[in-house]
């Protein structure tokens, strides 16, 4: 389990980029993982072009869930639901099939590569993506 909580994961969770309620949210979505009790709420402010202008999140869950939400908080502005789905699918492939980490701005998600060997923890990393994708409109 120590490999799951490397310094980089702990740093991302502590940064908590985007943490907190978004005052001018156009939509808010809460998702739960009933197996472990993680709960993530993402608030989004959507622009006229269906792209995210700003996000806020509240996470009641493990460090992996907090760190994943922090990565989204750092990179979601300017994205739309379809592009976030593509990032989620790339992340899912990394966790489940050993595919490379997402590229570009989302390369930080490579931090979660050690989670691949712990199937029960995959949902902890993916849950924040489910919430933000739903909030962004899909």
- Domain locations in the chain as residue ranges: 2-135
pTM of the model as a whole: 0.94
Residue 65's SS3 state is: helix
Report, at the CATH architecture level, how domain 2-135 is classified. Alpha-Beta Complex (3.90)
- State the Cα–Cα distance between residues 6 and 1, nearest whole angstrom: 9
CA-only gyration radius of the chain, Å: 14
Strand runs labelled E in the chain: 27-32, 39-46, 52-60
pLDDT at res. 16:
95
What pLDDT does 36 receive?
A: 86
Phi, psi torsion values for 22, nearest 5 degrees:
-95, 115
Render each residue's pLDDT in the chain as its tens digit; 138 residues. Answer: 455 567 889 999 999 999 999 999 999 999 999 888 999 999 999 998 999 999 999 999 999 999 999 999 999 999 999 999 999 999 999 999 999 999 899 999 999 999 999 999 999 999 999 999 999 996
């Amino acid at each position: 389990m120590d490999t799951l909580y490397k310094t980089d994961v702990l740093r991302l969770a502590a940064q908590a980029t985007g943490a907190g309620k978004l005052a001018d949210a156009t939509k808010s979505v809460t998702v739960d993982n009933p197996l472990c009790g993680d709960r993530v709420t993402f608030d989004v402010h959507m622009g006229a072009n269906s792209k995210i202008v700003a996000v806020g999140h509240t996470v009641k869950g493990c460090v992996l869930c907090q760190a994943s939400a922090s990565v989204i908080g750092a990179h979601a502005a300017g994205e739309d639901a379809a592009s976030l789905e593509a990032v989620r699918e790339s992340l899912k492939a990394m966790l489940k099939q050993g595919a490379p980490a997402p590229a570009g701005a989302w390369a930080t998600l490579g931090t979660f590569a050690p989670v691949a060997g712990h199937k029960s923890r995959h949902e902890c990393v993916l849950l924040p993506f489910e919430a933000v994708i739903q909030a962004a409109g899909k």
